[in-house]
Amino acid sequence: MKNIEANKVAARALLEVAFDSAKSVDEKRALLPRYLNEQKYIQHCPSMGDGFEGLMALLTNLANDFDGYSIDVKRLVAEGDYVVAHCLYRFGRMNPKEKVIFELFRVEDGKMVEHWDAIQDVPAEPLNSNGMI
């Protein structure tokens, strides 16, 4: 149980560092290896490049294109070596649409080594009032 809680803490920290628009790309490059294994990180999201450099390319693009982007990690669920994060993403003034993203990580020795995600836009006029988060 202890590893599961530690894995959740690491997954939250990775997401909050990566998607904090107040941190520079250089700061992120220095901090993220605390939470993911740079040599083993496998990316399953088809719109991102593989590995650590694929993640850094995404974060560089966000920094260049979306002033004030942010993440709100709403909940984490973990089992074994896997952690799921249910998150709300905001892309700042340039793109006011919000997205709900489920991030799935596989953790090895306390660091993220694989990543999958499912992304959905938050509609302006949903057909129910239940909310996505």
The residue type at 97: K
The tens digit of pLDDT for each residue in 81-128 reads 999 999 999 987 777 789 999 999 999 999 999 999 999 999 989 999
Backbone angles phi, psi at 28, to 5 degrees: -65, -45
Q: What is the pLDDT averaged over residues 57-71? A: 92
Domains of the chain and any CATH numbers: 2-121 (3.10.450.50)
Q: What is the mean pLDDT of residues 63-67?
A: 89
pLDDT at 96: 74
pLDDT band, very low/low/confident/very high, at 1 (cuts 50, 70, 90): low
Give every CB contact of residue 10 below 8 A, 6+ residues apart in sequence. 35, 83, 107, 110, 111, 112
Around Cβ 88, how many Cβ atoms within 10 Å?
16
Cβ burial of 14 (10 Å; 0-12, 13-18, 19+) is buried
What's the pLDDT band for 52 if we cut at 50, 70, 90?
very high
- Read off the pLDDT of each residue in 24-39 and give the average, rounded to a whole number: 98
Residue 30, Ramachandran bin (φ over 0: left; ψ between -120 and 50: alpha; else beta): alpha
In this predicted structure, what is the pLDDT of residue 80?
95
Output the pLDDT for position 2.
72
Which position has the token pair 């995600």?
117
Give yes or no for residue 24 having a pLDDT over 80.
yes
Query: The whole model's pTM is what?
Result: 0.93
Q: Is the pLDDT of residue 51 over 80?
A: yes
